[in-house]
Amino acid sequence: MERQVYLEDIPYEEARQAFLTPFAGRVMPPETLPVPECAGRVTAAPVFARLSSPHYHAAAMDGVAVAAKVTFGASETSPVRLTVGEDAFWVDTGDPLPPGTNAVIMVEDLHELPGGELEIIQAVSPWENVRLLGEDMVQTELILPANHRLRPVDLGALLAGGATAIAVRRRPRVAILPTGTELVPPGKEPAPGEIIEFNSTIFAAQVKEWGAEPVVFPITPDDYELIKARVAQAAGAADVILINAGSSAGSEDFSARVIGELGRLFVHGAATRPGKPVILGSVQGKPTIGVPGYPASAVLALELYLKPLLTRLLGLPPEEPPKVTARLARSLTSPLGVDEFVRVKLGPVGPHLMATPLPRGAALTTSLVRADGILKVPRGSEGIKAGAQVEVSLLKSEMEIRGTVVAVGSHDLTLDIIANLLREKYPEFTLSSAHVGSLGGLLALRRGEAHLAGTHLLDEETGEYNIPYLKRYLPEEEVYLITLVYREQGLLVPPGNPKEIRTLADLTRPDVTFINRQKGAGTRVLLDRALKEEGIDPQKIQGYQREEYTHTAVAAAVKSGAADVGLGVLSAARALELDFIPWRAERYDLAIPAVYLDHPGVRAVLSIIQSPEFKEQVTALGGYDLRDTGKIQWPRRGEEDARPAGTGD
């Protein structure tokens, strides 16, 4: 099969325009539905009131209906008496006014006398405490225009105006075609080379959220004729077609060719990152998108091209996500000529809303899950410097983001337990944890980019954990150092330890491949000190330059066979069913600037680490010692400093 290449590499605004223009003015036909079934639907025609609301003069209060003129002159010194059944008539809220009356006196303004008489000391005006006919809406009045997305309150207004069934736009049917011989359905254990097919589930949920109806087809293997037949079938069953995967330039990427043969190909390749290999065209007059296979690329492609298409088909105006201004936590580099969309975590730290870029791999679903917003690096820029003000399009509510506690520093699995318990016990807060290593965490505190940092840095000269580094990197800051856990570091090896690795000296063997942690990580500092003490040259360790940012990533490298051994904690070894060779115990602390000790989210975190639930779940992980959890290691001032480990006393 001849390898296909990108036809174009154009700005996404031009690509989107090329895709949308052929379908300009196309909207979905109407269908008539009962009003109670119309929530979230879009009106296909204006709706006018069939009835006035209310359709009679109605009492707005409990009391008596009267002709207002009979109350004139009433005062405390000259009360007026009314006779029930003659010039005053009892009514409840919502009752029609009796003939000859035009006002209601509230029951609390009445004084009942013997013999069926009432006394009042204040007059009422005509139509006082009365809901006039048509007060809400008048018969033939417009209730809702066409192209209006119906909210719950709209349904009530429609029924009040006498509308029981209305014309709404039919939901666009969106065919979703997952393709790829390597795909297996969820629930099946994937073999090496196989991938669980989950993109169609993401797509279907997005399609529903945007007001359309997904039609998910079975997985189609990489066979040109099968894919072509399936696309033709989809064109007859749907209004829009999504072909997932096969959009790049590989020998089995057939989407562009299929679209070109069955219809028209508008665009193949847009200048975006991720999402470059998108395909835009039509099949049998139906808008068709060749969606890249990687999740981050796919989700962005749907946001850029499918969402505005569906909005138009429903007759709605373009939607823009809410935006905030934030300060970039670290520098971003970006290639010229490409609009790059970077997902970020957001969190308020001091006076600033900090935006921390997430990993940018197009295949990373975790970045999609963790992201609070998206910032765009324009194609004319080579990047954005740390500290710059950036505009971020929000993916979550600003209120939720404002409740974020920002943790930057060393990775540990106990942080995941804290994050979950925080959400359970204090739903108004979330923990955002960025793993940049212990030293990176302390530098983030110095720059004012985090509320707290996990650290386990061993000082070579003193043999003391963390405190010398606080003095060195945060000499002007008052920072509390609170122990989270003691943990066991060791060598992570495959089950059975097939290469019989026992000591650090074994790392220099030519048949052993190592996976390291990044510079500045406490584990890396610990390793480098030990290598120096034992006189081992790091350059003799095969794989010493290969770095990962978390204990679980190191464990995954060993699990996959990409490395024979790595250094990490017991809980990571257990999580991925690896063998563990104990090496050294170390203290893992939380460094918290004093200025944030009274931050309610930080106080909640400190409360969590003292809770029985936290200690129970950490113990279950294995490899942890909780004897000093919550203890202040610095500053050493005595009992008066027990405050940070409490909950606000």
User: 3 pLDDT exceeds 50?
Assistant: no
- Which run of H or of E encompasses 529? helix 522-533
For the record, the structure tokens of 16 come out as: 């989107």
The average pLDDT across 26-46 equals: 97
The pair of structure tokens assigned to 620 is 């279950």
Note the CATH architecture for domain 12-26+172-313.
3-Layer(aba) Sandwich (3.40)
Q: What angle do CA 299, 312, 170 make, to 5 degrees?
A: 95
- 3-state DSSP assignment of residue 460: coil
pLDDT tens sequence across 491-501: 999 999 999 99
Average pLDDT over residues 264-283: 93
**Res. 463: pLDDT tops 90:** no
User: Smallest Cα–Cα separation from 549: which of 418, 419, 430, 439?
Assistant: 439
Tally of residues, the chain: 649
DSSP 214: E
pLDDT for 648 beyond 70: no
For 165-200, how does the pLDDT look when each residue is reduced to its tens digit (9 = 90+)? Answer: 999 999 999 999 999 999 999 999 999 889 999 999
Q: How confident is the model at residue 252 (pLDDT cuts 50, 70, 90)?
A: low
CA distances from 339 to 83, 118, 342, 376, 381 (A): 81, 78, 10, 7, 9
pLDDT digits (tens, 9 = 90+) for 608-645: 999 999 999 999 988 899 999 999 999 975 544 445 54
| Omega of the bond leading into 54 within 30 degrees of 0 (cis) | yes
Summarize the confidence of residues 218-225 as an average pLDDT.
94
Residue 522 has pLDDT above 90, yes or no: no
- Measured CA to CA in angstroms, residue 243 lies from 176, 207, 281 at distances of 6, 14, 11
Q: How far apart, in whole angstroms, are the C-alpha atoms of residue 301 and residue 276? A: 9
| Mean pLDDT within 493-519 | 95
pLDDT at residue 362 tops 90: no
Indicate if the pLDDT at residue 359 is higher than 90: no
Cβ–Cβ < 8 Å for 510, 483? no
pLDDT surpassing 90 at residue 473:
yes
- At residue 6, does pLDDT exceed 90? no
Which pLDDT value is given to residue 386? 86
Can you give the pLDDT at residue 363?
Answer: 73
Sign of CA dihedral 443, 448, 453, 458: positive
Grade residue 249 by pLDDT with cuts at 50, 70 and 90: low
CATH code for the domain defined by 30-54+135-169: 3.90.105.10
What is the model's pLDDT at position 53?
A: 92
pLDDT of residue 1: 35
Long-range contact set of residues 83-88: C-beta below 8 Å, sequence gap at least 24: 83/116, 83/117, 83/118, 84/116, 84/117, 84/118, 85/116, 88/64, 88/118
Domain segments of the chain as ranges:
12-26+172-313, 30-54+135-169, 58-131, 327-398, 440-645
Q: List the one residue out of 176, 173, 81 whose CA is nearest residue 121.
A: 81
Quote the tokens at residue 444.
């983030």
Pick the closest to residue 29 from 154, 173, 158 (CA basis): 173
* Angle (nearest 5°) at CA 400 between 397 and 406: 125
**pLDDT above 60: residue 524:** yes
pLDDT at 576: 94
pLDDT at position 647: 38
Residue 645 pLDDT: 47
Collapsed DSSP state (helix, strand, coil) of residue 576: coil
Residue 440 and residue 520 in contact, taking contact as beta carbons nearer than 8 Å:
yes
CATH class of 440-645: alpha beta
For residue 101, what are the contacts with CB-CB under 8 A and spacing of at least 6?
65, 66, 67, 89
In the prediction, which pLDDT does 116 show?
Answer: 85
Give pLDDT, residue 329: 86
The least confident of 146-150, 421-425, 640-644 is 640-644
pLDDT of residue 5: 41
- Match domain 58-131 to its CATH number in 2.30.30.90, 3.40.430.10, 2.40.110.10, 2.170.190.11: 2.170.190.11
Residue-wise pLDDT for 375-409, tens only, equals: 999 998 989 998 899 999 999 998 899 999 999 99
Looking at residue 248, its pLDDT comes to 58
User: How far apart, in Å, are the Cα atoms of 300 and each of 198, 242, 272, 379?
Assistant: 16, 14, 9, 16
588-603 pLDDT tens trace: 999 999 999 999 999 9
Contacts of the segment 259-265: beta carbons below 8 A, 24+ positions apart: 259/231, 259/283, 259/288, 259/290, 261/228, 262/228, 262/231, 262/232, 262/235, 263/235, 263/288, 264/22, 265/7
Inform me whether the pLDDT recorded for 215 exceeds 70. Answer: yes
* CA pair distance 405, 593, nearest whole angstrom: 13
How confident is residue 434, by pLDDT bands cut at 50, 70 and 90? Answer: confident
pLDDT over 80 (residue 276): yes
pLDDT-above-90 percentage for the chain: 81
The more confident residue out of 155 and 6 is 155
Cβ(629)–Cβ(486) below 8 Å: no
pLDDT computed for residue 509 by the predictor? 96
Q: Is the pLDDT of residue 93 over 90?
A: yes
Provide long-range contacts, Cβ within 8 A and 24+ apart, for 592-598: 592/451, 592/452, 592/479, 592/480, 592/481, 592/482, 592/644, 593/445, 593/451, 593/477, 593/478, 593/479, 593/480, 594/477, 594/478, 594/479, 594/480, 595/350, 595/478, 596/451, 596/452, 597/480, 597/643, 597/644
pTM of the model: 0.84
Q: For all residues of the chain together, what is the average pLDDT?
A: 92
Is pLDDT at 547 greater than 80 in this prediction?
Answer: yes
- Distance (Å, rounded) from C-alpha 93 to C-alpha 74? 24
Residue labelled with tokens 């990962």: 548
- Going by C-alpha positions, the residue among 313, 43, 39 that lies closest to residue 166 is 43
504: helix, coil or strand?
A: helix
Q: Which fold has domain 327-398?
A: Beta-clip (2.40.340)
